[in-house]
Structure 1
Amino acid sequence: AMQAISIGDDLYEKLIKDEESLNMDMAYEVIDWFKQAVIRTREVTEVEIEAVALSRLGRLYDQVLKIKYKAKEYLMRSMQLAHSMHPRTFNSEGWFKDCAEILERYQKETVAAEEEKWNKEREEIVKGLEKEMKGIEKADEKDSQEFLRYVYRVFPPKNKEHKLEGGLKKKGFHVEHDKLKKILQKAVVHYHPDKVDTEKHGKVWKVLSEEITKRLTRRYERMK
C-alpha cells in the first residue's frame, strides 16, 4: 500500500510541476495508484495508510481536477479514519495538515457564500421595512429604558415567556444601573437572531431581531 502511495506521490509531483497543461491521463493514473493503496490497506486493515491515501486523493481532486464535492468526500473520510485512531494524533503529518486546511477552506467558502446570499436577501427585506426601521431608529435616540419599552411593546418576542420585567413596563419607572444592565442582557437573549426560527417566524422577523439586538448590545456594552 505504501508503495502505491509512493508511486502516486511521484506522479502527482510530475503532474503539478512538469506539465504546462493538465495531463488528464496522468491525473487519473495518480488516482488509480491512490485507490489501489486504499484497497490494499483494507485487505490488511492499515487504517493510517488508508487515511493517507484518501487525503492524497482529496488533494488531487481539489488542486488538480478542481472537483470540490469529490475532494470533500475523500478528505472527510480521511479525517474520520484519523479520528478513529484516537488517542493517536496526526497534527504534524503533512497528509493530515492538507486534509484539515482544505476542509477549513471549504468551510470558510461555504460560510462566505451563505453570508453573501443572506446579505443580498437582507437588503431587499430592509427596503420593505422602512416604517419599522424609522421607528426603531427614533426609539434608539431615547434612553435604554424607553428603548426597551418600545421594542417589547411594538415588536414583542415570539416566545411568550420572554417579557420585559414588570416594573419597567410602566412609563416613568426607573431602575438602577446594575438591574438595567441585567435587563438589557436578557433582552439580547430574547431578541438574538440566532434563536430565530425563520421557518416559523419568517426572515422579516430575523432582520428585525438583528436590528434590535445590535442596538441592545451597543447599549449593554456602554454600561460595562
Structure 2
Amino acid sequence: MSGFHNASSSVPRCRSRSTNLRERGNILYRQVLEGGFCTAIRITKLEHARRLYQNALVLSLTAEEKASCHKNLGMLEWFHCKFELTHLLEGTLSDTLSIKDLSVCKVHLVEAVKSLSDALKHGAQCKSRIWIDHLENILRSIIEWAAEQSALVSICRSTFLQCVINTFEICDLPTNTRLLAYRKYLDVLLQEALRERLQNGRINHNVRQSLLQDCLEMTRKAFSCSAKGSDLDDEGRSLLDEIQGIHDSVSVEMCICDAMQAVALGDKCVSEVSKDGCCNDREKIKDALDHYRQALLLTREKDVESEAMAVSRLGKVYSGVLGSPDEGYRYHSQAVQLATRVMSPSVEMADWYKYSLDEVNAYHEKARPDRMGRPNKESRASRALQENVAALDKAAERGVKDLLKHVYQEHTHPDPKRNAIWRFESNASVKASLKRAILHYHPDSNVVYGDVWKKLCEEISKRLNRHYAVFKGC
C-alpha cells in the first residue's frame, strides 16, 4: 500500500475540462491586451474568449472553478466596455455621445459587474483573502473609471455610474464598495447641479431641482445600504460621514434653488409693473415683496450670497418702485454688508451687488449736505482709506503671502490676540493663515473699533476672501 501511494502521488493530477477551456480563453484574451491586431480581429478574439469562458463555467464542478470563470468573464466584459468606448470616441469629432451610442458599452459594463459579483460570492467559499481583496479592488477601479467618464463623455447624470449603481443594487456586494459607488455618484450629481447654478441668468431650475432630488434619493439608498449591512469598519464610517456631508450640502442647495425660483417670480412681478408704467399696482408689488421675503427666509444662515441677493431685491423695490429711499437704503446697505462677508469674483461682478453698492453710495452722497460741519475730517478719512486700499491692491497683486504680511504689519489689529504669526510652509498652512486672517478682520467682529476701522476691515476682507477662494480646493 505504501509503495502504491508513493507512485500515485508523483503523477500530476489531470486538469479539468473547465480549466482547459479557461486557459484557452486566457491565451486569446492576452493576445487582445497585447494589441497588434485590427479592431475587427480583436473583437472576434474577445468573442471567442467569451464563449470559451462561458463553456468553462457550464462545465465547472467546484466553487473555485466557478469563481475563476466568473472573474475571467468580468475582466473581459470590462475590457470590452472600455474598448468599445475608445472606438466610439475615435470615430466622432466631439466628446459628446448620446445615450443610444453608449448602449453596447453599458451592456458590457453591467455584465462585468454581475460576473465579478458572482466571482466574489463563489470565491468566498474557497479563495484566499488576497484573491478576494484583489477582486474588490477591481470593483473599486470600475467605480473610479465610471466616475472619470462623466468628464470625458458629456452626458447628464453620468450614465456609466448609473449602470454601476443599478447593477450593485441587484448584486450581493460588500457594503463599503456600494457606499463608495454612492459617494462617487453623489459627487457627480452635485457638481452638475452646481454648474447649473453658476450659469448666471440662464439657470434651468427644473433641471437643477431634478438633479438635487436625485442626490437626495441616492443618499437615502446609501443610508439604507449601511443600515442593512453589518457593523461598519473605519472606511465605511468615513464614507458614510462624507455622504452625510453631501446630503447636508444638497439640502442647502435645495433651499437656494427654491429661493432662486422665488426671486425669479418676484422679478417677473416687478417687470410687469415696470412694463405697465404704473407703480400703483399694489397687488403685484406686494407679490414681488412676498417672493423676495420667501427667498430671504429660505437662505438665511444657509447661503449668504443668495440671502444678500434677496435683500438687494427688496431694496430695489423700495427705492426704485415705491420711491422710499430711506427704506431702500436700509436693505441695500444690508445687502452690501452680507456680500462683504463672502466677497468673491462672482459676487463682485453680480448686477445686484453693483446696484446695491451704487444705491448706498448715492444715498451717502445725497446726505452729505446734512453733514457740512465735518467736511475736512471726513475727506481726510476718505483719502486715507483710498490710500490704504491702493496699498492693499498692490500687495494682493504680488500674491497671497505679501498680502498677509502687509495686512498684519501695516494694519496691526487693535486686539493683540488677533495679531497672529502667519505660516507659509505649504498650501495648507497658507490656507490656514488666510482663514485666520479672515476671522480676525471680519467687519462684523470689528464694529467696536469705530466706523473707519470697520470700513478698512471690509476692504481687507474682500481681498482676503478672493485669495481664499483659490485655496478652497487645496
Q: Which TM-score band (shorter chain)?
A: 0.3 to 0.5
By relative contact order (CA 8 Å, sep 6+), the higher-ranking structure is 1
* Bigger Rg, which one: 2
Give me the TM-score of the superposition, normalised by structure 2: 0.23
- TM-score where L is the length of structure 1: 0.48
